[in-house]
Structure 1
Amino acid sequence: MAVLLLVGPAVVHLIRNRVSTRGRHVKPRLSMPRLALAKAILVALAIVQTLLLETTVPGTRYLIGVEIALAIAIAGPALHRRMLVGPPAAPVDTADSSRRSNTDKSR
């Protein structure tokens, strides 16, 4: 489970960074650290619920599966905007910036 939680988002993040450095990516995209944190919180809550309810409620795992599905279906669209980050900033040419500041001073 740790592989799915940590390695998958890291690989996708590296691939997206490589693609974005080529200038192909201009839209907002999902933040991999935020997504991994949300997944970790969801899994931790499911584990705690399982440990607390397993001895008293029959079919606990099915109930928690339904709860996870409902949580994603209801809270997912609302949290999606918070998971987005803007495109990386364009690199600034320092030589061009210094020329602009010198022309501004001469005016």
Structure 2
Amino acid sequence: MAALLAAIPSAALAAEWIVTPSDGPTLSAVLKAAAPGDRIRLKPGRHDGPLVIDKPVTLDGEDGASIVGNGEGSVVTIEAEKVTVRGIEVTGSGMNLSTLDSGIFAARTATGAII
């Protein structure tokens, strides 16, 4: 029984990161430091993109949180499985349809993503 319980991943082990636009580590730095299963909460304001999400995390925006790109390419690229992105305004993508510029681009590897 103990071996079975040890093999079940626990949500209690996931960390919660809080990112504010004007203080502390950037969203990009937090995404690099986060572990699979972590929750990243964005405080209201402008967070800079572009970003790549390459591990299964949850990105939750509080009312007024936004991610703004530099006008080229996609603002957020999801490469990992089981990523959740919610409550965030995303602006500032490129306009090149042949390269699939997007606000949020989910790669083929992003199975189970919730946006």
Q: Tell me the TM-score normalised to structure 2 length.
A: 0.21
Larger-Rg structure: 1
Higher relative contact order (CA 8 A, sep 6+): 1
Q: Tell me the TM-score normalised to structure 1 length.
A: 0.22
